[in-house]
Amino acid sequence: MPDNRFHTEEMNMRKTRLLTALAVAAALAVPATDALAQAAGKLKVGFMLPYTGTFAALGTAIENGFRLYVNEQGGKLGGREIEFVKVDDESEPSKGADNVNKLIKRDNVDVVVGTVHSGVAMAMAKVAKETGTLLVIPNAGAVAITGPMCAQNIFRTSFSNWQPGYAMGVVAAERGHKKVMTITWKYAAGDESVGGFKEGFEKGGGQVIKDLTLPFPNVEFQALLTEIAAAKPDAVYTFFAGGGAVKFVKDYAAAGLNKTIPLYGAGFLTDGTLEAQGDAAQGLLTTLHYGDGLTLAKDKAFRAAYSAAYKMQPDVYAVGGYDAAQLLGIGLTAVKGDMAKKADLYKAMAAAKIDSPRGAFTLGKNHDPVQDIYLRKVEGKENKVVGIAVKALADPGRGCTM
């Protein structure tokens, strides 16, 4: 339920600020729109990201990427100075609604940016819909958010879990595999990534013979690896990310399976993880909307700026954060920083062409990126792009009625 008392106070404060701004603009003969943006004060961005647990590094990379873009704009978007507040969501869906309400009701943020974990993101999307708060999702791929839960005020700059999975299904079928096993965490992202893989693979004539799962964020893989070794499928498809992905790739190799049964994954399996995975990851093929070795000027500039600012290389999560800031910037520029012009803000964001380090992309009607999904191969410390698995792939947006 929206807090009406807060709403009225806020409206009165805004009205006063606007009237003052117009008076000042008239007196100084400055354009009224610039004066309005200045009078509106700082724009509050609420980061709701994982800063602890298996996805901690992913949350930090997203925040880094977002801040980098804002800093490149002199600390302002659409003429408004940006102020940040943050909440650690711990990748814990049961705390999702409370955590996002802290940002919206306690901290009065203008926009929420988050998160990584699909289960947490679904709780956030529900609250965003109920309160009408702008939500920009820089990672979590929950299909429902750009499906049945889609809304004018919810945007995603990353992917749907279906997209990399589907692309890898197409590739695995093209590589001649017939019978594949899947293994993942039992939650929305794992299920949907495997669902996408199945769709692409079966379309190409393949068959998924068994789905193996374990609860998130469990990393006791041994029993399941023994089952894979006994079943001897043609290949294995997997979705793991962050700390869990590091452990899975190492365990797969330690069990000797990397010598006999090819392992394919959504690219999170090896993104931001190669330093820790070392030799165990060499040669792995994955699909994702970002990778190493792209020859785009935008990517080169982004990498140089990111590594100068943070003394490390960016990964796919940093790109999601950077592009979330770009998307918000496009919307705010269109309304000259006036968040009250919601219809115009959302219209500009929905129509945005984002000059991303991954390559320029637009959003589908469901506000999910329409983008090339690359095929990548691990070589040393890099996810080298070796081709485009599927060009301009759009999430089907099933159930989205916007």
Binding site for ligand BEZ (CB under 6 A): 116-118, 139-142, 161, 189, 241, 268
Nearer to ligand BEZ by Cβ, of 78 and 141: the residue is: 141
User: What secondary structure letter does DSSP report for 111?
Assistant: E
Query: At its nearest, how many Å lie between ligand BEZ and the CB of residue 189?
Result: 3
Query: At its nearest, how many Å lie between ligand BEZ and the CB of residue 158?
Result: 8
Residue at 338: amino acid letter: D
Query: At its nearest, how many Å lie between ligand BEZ and the CB of residue 3?
Result: 29
Token pair, residue 266, equals 């959504």
Q: Which phi and psi angles does 370 have, rounded to 5°?
A: -95, 115
Nearer to ligand BEZ by Cβ, of 39 and 238: the residue is: 238
Nearest residue to ligand BEZ by CB is: 189
CA distance 220 to 242: 15
Token pair, residue 81, equals 């100075």
Nearer to ligand BEZ by Cβ, of 118 and 157: the residue is: 118
Q: Which phi and psi angles does 385 have, rounded to 5°?
A: -70, 120
CA distances from 50 to 117, 120, 362 (A): 8, 10, 27
Nearer to ligand BEZ by Cβ, of 131 and 193: the residue is: 193
Residue with tokens 């009237």: 19
Query: At its nearest, how many Å lie between ligand BEZ and the CB of residue 353?
Result: 24
Query: At its nearest, how many Å lie between ligand BEZ and the CB of residue 86?
Result: 18
Specify burial of residue 164 (Cβ count, 10 A radius: 0-12, 13-18, 19+).
buried
Specify burial of residue 299 (Cβ count, 10 A radius: 0-12, 13-18, 19+).
buried
Nearer to ligand BEZ by Cβ, of 82 and 142: the residue is: 142
Query: At its nearest, how many Å lie between ligand BEZ and the CB of residue 229?
Result: 27
DSSP β-bridge partners for residue 265: 238, 286
Query: At its nearest, how many Å lie between ligand BEZ and the CB of residue 400?
Result: 17
Query: At its nearest, how many Å lie between ligand BEZ and the CB of residue 214?
Result: 15
Contact between 227 and 212 under an 8 Å Cβ cutoff? The reply is: yes
CA distance 277 to 149: 36
Nearer to ligand BEZ by Cβ, of 140 and 285: the residue is: 140
Query: At its nearest, how many Å lie between ligand BEZ and the CB of residue 334?
Result: 29
Nearer to ligand BEZ by Cβ, of 46 and 114: the residue is: 114
Residue at 204: amino acid letter: G
Contact between 318 and 381 under an 8 Å Cβ cutoff? The reply is: no
CA distance 24 to 190: 55
Q: Which phi and psi angles does 122 have, rounded to 5°?
A: -65, -40
CA distances from 331 to 9, 37, 182, 372 (A): 25, 14, 40, 24
Nearer to ligand BEZ by Cβ, of 146 and 258: the residue is: 146
CA distance 156 to 146: 8
Nearer to ligand BEZ by Cβ, of 241 and 330: the residue is: 241
Q: Which helix (H) or strand (E) holds 44?
A: strand 43-49
Query: At its nearest, how many Å lie between ligand BEZ and the CB of residue 230?
Result: 29
Which spans in 73-117 are helix H? 96-101
Nearer to ligand BEZ by Cβ, of 194 and 348: the residue is: 194
φ/ψ bin of 360: left (φ > 0), alpha (ψ from -120 to 50), beta (otherwise): beta
